[in-house]
Amino acid sequence: MPLPDAVSSGIDTLLDRTVAPGFTKVGSAVRRRLPTWPADPAPGALVGRTGLVTGASSGLGTATAEGLARLGARVVLVVRDAGKGAATARELERAVPGAQVSVATCDGSDLDDVRRFAEQLDVDGVERVDVLVHNAGAMPPQRTESAQGHEQTMALHVLGPVLMTDLLSPRMTGGRVVLVTSGGMYGQRLRADDPEYLQGEYSPTTAYARSKRAQVELLPVLLRRWSNKRIRVDATHPGWADTPGLDSSLPAFRRLTRPFLRDAEDGADTTVWLAGADPEETGRLWHDRRPRPTHLLPTTRTGDVERELMWEWVIKQTALSPS
């Protein structure tokens, strides 16, 4: 006898609030067996559409690109290393017969390179973008600056994605933007007073989580900015997934939790699902195909004033029009 929906939803919520089981492969395995688990996208849901995935040469990015390709999308792998991107493209073409995969280079933390990339898409013949997944991420072990002198995680996770989306927005009418964030952001509040992390002793995990918190807090602002294009803007967090980035950034955590870590496909599932199922609900943080709260602690809650201050900083650094 199937569980009543109320019980199923209660189990789902309990997994989410207790974090550890919900973020692991145990959480997704349990949720997939619940009657409230949303249906998969229809086969061929993205045929005739184009998806761009940043950081697509490994881990979650490669899994996301493969998921979009399996739904029929033409996929552009946006990578820093053209050689790695070409190797990934060949792997995807073997894994998904008939897949349309191309490679474009861009350093998402370098705002000048983001501008070049957006212009180059015209040359590459990408007239429309239906799905834009900002997956590229990094956690430098010490404070590092981008080409324009911005703290690296904030440049790569916030400034670059905002600028790229804004430049591509004319060809994204009715499309969907997904920011791949992290559950680590639950432990940090928005720091509009110190976006460059110039105060206090630098911590790579804190910097990473702060930038991911900024992604989530800016969702309503970004949704409003691109509303005239009917662009949906969401964030997903993959839970605890076993990726090359985790191994290089948090090796001790990976050793302790490896038996419970999700694989890359599981971590990318909700991002692919959002693109293929294309739910009307937007402006939300999603995990395991459900909208999730953006705060688990009262100390991380953000007011409108602080959010607008962060947005003003983003506008200033990217030189975008404030309107």
**Residue 71 is assigned to a structural domain of this protein:** yes
In this predicted structure, what is the pLDDT of residue 253? 73
**Residue 323 is assigned to a structural domain of this protein:** no
140's CB contacts (< 8 A; 6+ apart) are 152, 153, 204, 207
Residue 4: pLDDT over 60 = yes
Residue 97: pLDDT over 70 = yes
Confidence at 247, pLDDT banded by 50, 70, 90 = low
This prediction's pTM: 0.95
Burial 160-171 (b: 16+ CB within 10 A, else e): bbbbbbbbbbeb
Q: What is the mean pLDDT of the chain?
A: 94
Name the token pair of 242.
């076993």
Length of the chain as a residue count: 323
Angle between helices 5-17 and 25-32 (to 10 degrees): 170
Structure confidence by residue, pLDDT tens digits, 277-307: 999 999 999 999 999 999 999 999 999 999 9
Q: Which domain holds residue 238?
A: 46-318
Q: What percent of the chain stands above pLDDT 70?
A: 98
In this predicted structure, what is the pLDDT of residue 7? 86
In this predicted structure, what is the pLDDT of residue 244? 74
Task: Mark whether 230 and 296 lie in a shared domain.
Answer: yes
The DSSP-derived string for 69-97 is: HHTT-EEEEEES-HHHHHHHHHHHHHHST
Q: What percent of the chain stands above pLDDT 90?
A: 85
If one counts every other C-beta atom within 10 angstroms of the C-beta of residue 226, the result is 18
Q: Which of 17, 11, 66, 19 is nearest to 37 (CA)?
A: 11
Task: Mark whether 4 and 85 lie in a shared domain.
Answer: no
Judge whether 57 and 241 are in contact, CB under 8 Å: no
CATH number of the CATH domain containing 143: 3.40.50.720
Task: Mark whether 67 and 138 lie in a shared domain.
Answer: yes
Residue 1: pLDDT over 60 = no
Task: Mark whether 246 and 282 lie in a shared domain.
Answer: yes
H-state helical runs in the chain: 5-17, 20-23, 25-32, 59-70, 82-95, 111-123, 152-154, 160-168, 204-217, 219-225, 244-249, 251-257, 264-277, 304-318
Q: Which of 20, 22, 2 is nearest to 12 (CA)?
A: 22
Name the token pair of 46.
């993205």
Name the token pair of 95.
């894994």
In this predicted structure, what is the pLDDT of residue 251? 81
In this predicted structure, what is the pLDDT of residue 164? 98
Annotation says 208 is catalytic: yes
Task: Mark whether 313 and 195 lie in a shared domain.
Answer: yes
Average pLDDT in the 228-247 region?
88
Task: Mark whether 113 and 175 lie in a shared domain.
Answer: yes
**Residue 99 is assigned to a structural domain of this protein:** yes
Task: Mark whether 298 and 176 lie in a shared domain.
Answer: yes
Q: How many domains does the chain have?
A: 2
Task: Mark whether 24 and 172 lie in a shared domain.
Answer: no
**Residue 123 is assigned to a structural domain of this protein:** yes
Task: Mark whether 8 and 50 lie in a shared domain.
Answer: no
Least confident of 4-13, 81-90, 91-100, 132-141: 4-13
Task: Mark whether 20 and 132 lie in a shared domain.
Answer: no
